[in-house]
Each structure stands twice: as C-alpha cells, then as structure tokens.
Amino acid sequence: MIDRYTRPEMAALWTDEARYARWLEVELAVCDVLAERGAIPGEAATALRERASFDVERIREIEREVRHDVIAFLSSVGESTGPEGRFLHLGMTSSDVIDTALALQVRDAGRLLVSDTDRLLSVLRRRALEHKRTPMIGRTHGVHAEPTTFGLKLLVFHEEVRRGRARLERALEEAAVGKISGAVGTFGQLEPAVEEAVCARLGIGFEPAATQVVQRDRHAALVSALAVLASTLEKIAVECRHLARTEVREVDEEFGKAQKGSSAMPHKRNPWRFETVSGLARLVRGYALAALENNALWHERDISNSSVERVVLPDASALLDFMLERTAQLVDGLVVHPDRMRHNLEHTRGLPFSGALLAELLRSGLGREEAYRLVQRHAMETWERGGEYKKRILNDPEIARWLSHEAIDRCFDLDHALRHVDAIFERTLGSEDAS
C-alpha cells in the first residue's frame, strides 16, 4: 500500500524485515521444543538463540539464484550459526514456517485494528450522547420521513462498529493459527505434540487437520471481516457526505484555517476526507474477493495463494487501520448544525407527523382505508400547494369527528415523537452509560 494510506506502526508489521524476524522466531521456537523433548541437543538450541540472525539483502541475493525464499532465508541464517544451523527447519516444510509466521503477523496487525476500533467506538459513543436529543428529520429513499435525532443516528453507527469489532476478533482468532505438520500435514517427521507446544509458545492456535498449509478459509473469513467493517465506515462517510451537501448542510467536515477546498472555487468546503474513506472501502471489498478465491487450492496445496496474500493481507490491514483512524478523527471533529437540522425538519411544514396522525385515527376507531385517505389527501395538498399540514388537519370536519384538538396536537408534538429515544440509548448502552 502506498505511504499516503499507510500508518507507520501497521507498515512496520509487514516489511521484509518483520516477516523474516517472525520466520526466525518460528524456527527457533521449534528448536526450543525439540531440545526440551530431547530430539536435538539443548546446547545447540541455546547456541542458535544466541547466534542466529539474517540479512535481508543477503536473502534477496541468494533468492535471485535459488529462486526459493525460504531456502534463501535458511541459507542466510546458516551463515551466522555455524554447525548448529543443521538443526534449523528439521522435519519442517516451507509452509510450516511461512504460515505459522503469518499467524503472528495477523495477530499483531489485529491488535492494532482492534485498538483502532475501540477508539472509534469511544468517539461515536461520546458524540451520540452529546446529540441524543438533537432533533432532525429522518429520511427514507432520500425523502423526509419522520423525526429522529442525530444522536440516534450515531448510536446506530456505534452498534454496527461494535458488531464489526466482535466479528473481527472472531476472525482473528480463526486466522491466527500455525502448523508444523510437514509436507502434506501428516506429521511425517515430527510429532503433533511438537506443533501444539510450538504454537502455544508463540501464543497462537494450531490447525488441527492440515494439508501442507493452514486452510485459507480462515484468511478469507478474516479479510471478509475487514471488508464488512470497512463497509460500515463507508456507511458513516456516505451519510455525513449527504448531510454536508449545500442544500442540507446539517453537518460539515472540519475545515482548517489554512485549508483550501478547490483550486478554482475559493468558496468550496468539500467533504474530501469522508470521500477518501468511501473510496478505500471499495479496495478492501476487492481484497475480500481475492481472499475468497484463495481458498480453493489444488490437492494438498499449490502456490497460487502466495502472491495474492503478499498484497491482500498487508494492504487490507493497512487500509482498514488508516480508515478507522480517519473516521474517528472526522467524527470527533464533525461540525454539527442543530439549527439547520431544525430548519430542515420544519421544511415540509408538518408532513413528517402524518404517520402519528394515521395511527391515532386508527386507534380512535376509524377504518384503515378511510383514515389513510384523509391523512394522505391533506399531505398531497401540502406537498403541492404549500401551507401548514397541521392547519389543514385541524380544519377538516371529518377528522374532527374522530380526534380532539388535544389529540391532534399530540400527533404533531416533536417531544412526543421522540419520547422513546432515551429508552433506546439505555437498552443499547446501559442505564449508567446512557445518562
């Protein structure tokens, strides 16, 4: 991933240096376990811990000749170890080290992503509570529907991100597994107990039944979880972009004092950072498709997944890391205009209360078809001719037969319409957190 969309801490996890360091960590863990079991001399494992090292440029040089990255790595390490180096990779196949080390990278990248998600959850929660009672118009199909609050809108996002976090943690647990079971997963050279001990030492799970590789449904599920969470961030971005349109202007993306919105139009204040989030979500979705296609390998394995994963796993992790941080920043600094929200809520002159009026007529005993006809007739006249919807309702003698002025007033009362918002917050966040 290009530097523009990569944060340093995540980038550091996917460098060649980091990958080879984890390969060496796996190799040494296997030696330690073998030494504990008496399969190799204890002093050899100690010597390897003390002396084993690698050189990235040397690995690249050797790989150009042998055309095999793990052999090149082992050759470079062997130059630093002396005769004890013969115990490295004993009974292992290349995928044992590659996949087990990949599990360590997945685990460490996942920790960053979970931390990012927690920050976004904190920001969404705080701003949702801040605007719990900030009324605005709810829109369905882009058209004014019924009143809602901006806080409730943010609470919905908070809950979706919370589900995304749980989904991510489950996928990380599934994907962060290693295997030390040999060329086709039969433990031809090592015992299953060695695999279990090595993975426990490394702090990851193990693949209970493997081929030459950890099965790629695990990684497909992980990248899919990243894509779902990215789609949630896009949902937040798209909503804020719509609300920032000039005709709506209920929110604004934070605009710096020295910021410029357009090279040609000095007045512009564009939601460009939200637009970046929308665009990057498309990439992560594409990576999910590639990860799904990696699952169907030939027989006990082929290598078609390798080239894909060298791109997909680092890039998807880096992008989501960037998107989570950016979204948290944008929500934190989002400029909210309650006055515009109130203005837009009142723009349709009482029409958003038609549903409450219909329900009240039904409760009073009027049949549905007749009640709907009365309510819709005045609504369409208000759409087409202007004027106040409530005034038309109050002046209709047919409606007056069924509803008192007090009942009609209640149908058009904003506080009454939003009376259950506090209860939604309480059942979602808990009574103490929602206060």
Task: Indicate if 110 and 245 belong to the same structural domain.
Answer: yes
Helical axes 94-130 vs 304-333, angle rounded to 10°: 20
pLDDT score of 257: 72
Q: What percent of the chain has pLDDT over 90?
A: 93
Domain final residue pick, 53, 68, 90: 90
Domain presence at residue 106: yes
CATH number at residue 253: 1.20.200.10
Confidence bin at 1 (pLDDT 50/70/90): confident
CATH number at residue 86: 1.10.275.10
pLDDT in tens, 238-269: 999 999 999 999 999 886 676 666 566 676 78
Let me know: does 145 contact 139? Beta carbons within 8 Å.
yes
pLDDT in tens, 301-358: 999 999 999 999 999 999 999 999 999 999 999 999 999 999 999 999 999 999 999 9
Domain presence at residue 153: yes
C-alpha–C-alpha distance, residues 433 and 165, integer Å: 19
Domain range for 375 is: 351-411
Does residue 103 register a pLDDT over 70?
yes
- Integer angstrom CA distances of residue 85 from 37, 70, 96, 189, 391: 18, 14, 17, 18, 90
pLDDT score of 431: 73
Confidence bin at 270 (pLDDT 50/70/90): confident
Task: Indicate if 294 and 202 belong to the same structural domain.
Answer: yes
Task: Give the predicted TM-score (pTM) of the model.
Answer: 0.94
The number of beta carbons lying within 10 Å of the beta carbon of residue 186 is 12
Contacts 24+ apart (CB under 8 A), 146-151: 146/352, 146/353, 146/355, 146/356, 146/417, 147/345, 147/352, 147/353, 147/414, 147/417, 147/418, 148/418, 149/418, 149/421, 150/250, 150/336, 150/338, 150/341, 151/127, 151/421, 151/425
- State the first-to-last Cα distance of the chain, in angstroms, to the nearest integer: 42
Domain presence at residue 372: yes
pLDDT score of 263: 61
**Of 53, 262, 307, 435, catalytic:** 262
The answer to whether residue 306 is catalytic is no
Task: Indicate if 184 and 258 belong to the same structural domain.
Answer: yes
Sorted by sequence, the CB contacts under 8 Å of residue 375 that are 6+ apart come out as 354, 357, 358, 361
Averaged pLDDT for residues 58-64 = 97
Domain final residue pick, 312, 338, 364: 338
| Residue with tokens 């995540």, as numbered in its chain | 10
The answer to whether residue 364 is catalytic is no
Helical axes 69-81 vs 56-66, angle rounded to 10°: 130
Averaged pLDDT for residues 36-65 = 96
pLDDT score of 180: 98
Task: Indicate if 49 and 194 belong to the same structural domain.
Answer: no
pLDDT score of 373: 96
C-alpha–C-alpha distance, residues 31 and 41, integer Å: 9
**How does strand 251-252 pair with strand 335-336?**
antiparallel
